Structure 1
Amino acid sequence: MSVKETCLICFEDIDVARMLSIGTCQHKYCLPCLKHHVEINLQNGIVAQCPHKDCKCEVNVDSCKTFLSSELANVLIERIKESSIPVTEKVYCPFPRCSALMSKQEVLENTKTSFVSEGGRKCVKCKHYFCINCKVPWHYDMSCYDFQRSEMYSCVEDQLLKSFASKKLWRQCSKCNHMVELESGCYHITCRCGHQFCYTCGAEWKNKHATCSCPIWDEHFIIRP
Structure 2
Amino acid sequence: KFARDAIVSQIAWPVETSKGKSLKETCVICFEDIDVEKMFLVDGCYHRYCFSCMKQHVKVKLLNGIVVTCPHEECKTEINIATCGNFLDPKLFEIMSQRRKEASITATEKVYCPYPRCSALMSKTEVLRHTNLFRVGAEHSGERKCMKCGFFFCINCKAPWHDNMTCNDYSRSNSHKRTGDAMLKSLAKQKLWRQCVKCSHMVELSEGCYHITC
The answer, yes or no, to whether TM exceeds 0.5 is: yes
More moved, 149-158 vs 41-50: 149-158
For 1:82, the equivalent position in structure 2 comes to: 102
SS in 1 for 2:34: strand
Structure with larger Rg: 2
1:54 alignment counterpart:
74
1:139 and 2:159 aligned: no
User: SS in structure 1 opposite 2:92?
Assistant: helix
More helix by share: 2
Q: Secondary structure at the match of 2:56?
A: helix
Partner amino acid for 1:114?
A: R
1:14-29 to 2 correspondence within 5 Å?
14-29=34-49
More displaced stretch, 10-19 vs 78-87: 10-19
Alignment of 1:43 with 2:43, yes or no, is no
Q: Distance in 2 between matches of 1:35 and 1:98?
A: 27
Report the more deviating stretch, 79-88 or 134-143: 134-143
Aligned residues: 173
Structure 2: 5+ residue runs without aligned partners?
1-13, 16-22, 194-203, 209-214
Note the 1:30-179 alignment, pairs <5 A.
30-112=50-132, 113-115=134-136, 118-147=141-170, 152=175, 154-155=178-179, 157=181, 176-179=190-193
Listed as ranges, the gaps of 5+ residues in structure 1 are 163-171, 185-225
Letter of the 1:98 counterpart: C
**Equivalent residue in structure 2 for 1:11, among 22, 25, 31:** 31
Paired letter, 1:182: S
3-state DSSP class of the match of 1:11? coil
Secondary structure, in 3 states, of the residue corresponding to 2:118? coil
Alpha-carbon shift at residue 79 of structure 1 (Å): 1.2
> What RMSD in Å do the two structures reach over aligned CA positions?
2.9
What per-residue deviation string (whole Å, max 9, x for no partner) do you get for residues 152-189 of structure 1? 46446568x79xxxxxxxxx78x9232334357xxxxx
Does the aligned pair in 2 maintain the 1:90–1:104 contact within 8 Å? yes
User: Structure 1 residue 45: deviation in Å?
Assistant: 2.4
Cα distance in 2 for partners of 1:147, 1:34 equals 49
Separation in 1, partners of 2:207, 2:36: 35
**SS in structure 2 at match of 1:26:** coil
Deviation digits for residues 176-212 of structure 1, max 9, x if unmatched?
232334357xxxxxxxxxxxxxxxxxxxxxxxxxxxx
Tell me the SS of whatever aligns to 1:74.
helix
